[in-house]
Amino acid sequence: MSETTAADAPAAVRRERGELLWLCGAAALLFAGLLVYSQTLAFAWDEGFHLLAAQLINAGKRPYLDFCFPQTPLNAYLNAGWMRIFGETWRATHVLATLWVAGAAFLAGEFVLARLPAPRWRLAGAVAAAAAVGLNSQVVLFGTIGQAYGFCLFLTVAAFRLAVVAVERRAALWAAATGLMAGAAAASSLLTAAAGPVLLVWIVLRNRAGNRWIKLAAFLAGGAIPFVSVIRLYALGPRQVLFNIVQYQTLYRRVKWEGATGQDISVLTGWIDSAQGLALILLAATGVWFLARKSGWDGARRAEFYLALWLGLALTAELGLAHPTFERYFLLVAPFAAIPAVAGLYWIGSRVGDPERPMRPALILIIVLALGLWRAIYDDFDSYSWKDCEKIAEQVDAVTPRGGTLWADELFYFLTRRPPPDGMEFSYAHELDLPADQAALLHILPVTEIHRRVRAGAYQTVAACYESDATDKLNLPQLYLQRFEVKDCPVYWEWAGKR
């Protein structure tokens, strides 16, 4: 018997290595597809103020203190450092974001490969989990851009993986690393803030080696490290930091947006019309039922799958309470829906189909995911792209003298490398009604002041496409003699008052 075991061990190792290579190949294929998309169609208008923030940081400016930036800043600092190496282009940041997304897909898949108690299903489940992340339409559309989504996706999955190890090891370093990843995610976007408390409670309650209280302290210490820059900025300007990180998010996000509640309802019920969403929700629900009543898996393994579930539920609750919320926010839940969904896929596939052919149900799921992604890309195909914005930026550069005054959307400041006038680094803030001294402190220029300046001829060029409501009120065709348009975005120059 011992000889058989010894003979089987190398075969098992070879099989595991082979399965890992297959998963690496699937992740590489996902990365290649995501990279092509990121360099061609990936675009979001809000990406502009994130990239502009990174550009301003490289110019020596500080978030909050020198310009309005109502986000936690770690991703902006990361993009700034990346740009210093590879150039201040959107393409470079898209490559970085794509790496994070592919890494998150791989980590989710590798968890299933390492932890699924059904050996025959490990590879099929791992590929299905990776595909559920990497083919998710919101992950593809928004995880591959310069905002923090891709980075946060990777960090939260990494924190989950580290937490699973932390409860098994005596060393508190694993708990500190878990806190570091969870803290870095929250320091890049507060949309991931719910992950940290869930992981901390799980480590304390499920700890099986070492001192749980030392691990708690290590987790908190690791989680604090990514906020060092925020703490430093707060010491220099507490009012500015408090406004950008807390007050704007809780009090000002929905200012002058009468349809915010309708937006929330539409987003929270949108999964009903989504083949991807329905498939993952139904499979995850089946997986939870299976784990609770029928699995026969040992408690430690079930607890790890439950941890993914609790992370998904906590993030869903946080994102659902954001007002207004957006469908793209929920891409952060994708890995934590995919992992229990694999348990559901295993239960259905091993009973309805041939349990010896686990790739068949996995391929069916992948086909559903791929068709849902194709539909999302097709529906978004005629939207703006960076190619369109570059044409607009070229026109802005051609008609605006270097050092000339410009009112534009953030991405045009970024593309033309023209520093925005003070107070115009974050266009959503223009609508806020703040006392003049507070607005000046926060580097916010009210829309009324912008309009006054336009009528006085203070701006040589206007390319504020996203602020169409504001520009329509000004009747810009009457104020400027020249106009150039890409899609429905006009550029105005040569102020009529000069005649």
Answer positive or negative: Cα dihedral of 137, 139, 143, 147.
positive
**Is residue 48 in a domain?**
no
**Is residue 46 in a domain?**
no
95 and 110 share one domain: yes
pTM value? 0.93
- pLDDT-derived band at 464 (thresholds 50, 70, 90) equals confident
347 and 303 share one domain: yes
Mean pLDDT of the chain: 91
Calpha distance 400→415 (Å, rounded): 14
Given 379, 401, 435, the domain boundary residue is 379
294 and 406 share one domain: no
- Say what the pLDDT of residue 498 is: 59
What is the extent of the structural domain holding 232? Answer: 2-40+71-379
Given 339, 355, 379, the domain boundary residue is 379
Q: What is the pLDDT of residues 60-73, one digit of tens each?
A: 999 999 999 999 99
**Is residue 439 in a domain?**
yes
Q: What is the pLDDT of residues 402-456, one digit of tens each?
A: 889 999 999 999 999 999 999 999 998 988 889 999 999 999 999 889 999 999 9
426 and 363 share one domain: no
Peptide bond into 324 cis (omega under 30): yes
430 and 462 share one domain: yes
Q: What percent of the chain has pLDDT over 90?
A: 73
**Is residue 234 in a domain?**
yes
427 and 370 share one domain: no
371 and 236 share one domain: yes
440 and 339 share one domain: no
Task: Using alpha carbons, select from 483, 484, 479 the residue that is nearest to residue 499.
Answer: 479
146 and 187 share one domain: yes
Q: What is the pLDDT of residues 361-387, one digit of tens each?
A: 999 999 999 999 999 999 988 889 999
211 and 350 share one domain: yes
Calpha distance 450→458 (Å, rounded): 9
Distances, alpha carbon 239 to alpha carbons 186, 191, 229, in Å: 20, 22, 15
Q: What percent of the chain has pLDDT over 70?
A: 95
345 and 454 share one domain: no
229 and 332 share one domain: yes
**Is residue 53 in a domain?**
no
Q: Which of 224-238, 315-329, 343-357, 478-492 has the lowest mean pLDDT?
A: 343-357
Look at the chain and report how many structural domains it folds into. 2
Q: What is the pLDDT of residues 7-39, one digit of tens each?
A: 556 777 788 888 899 999 999 999 999 999 999
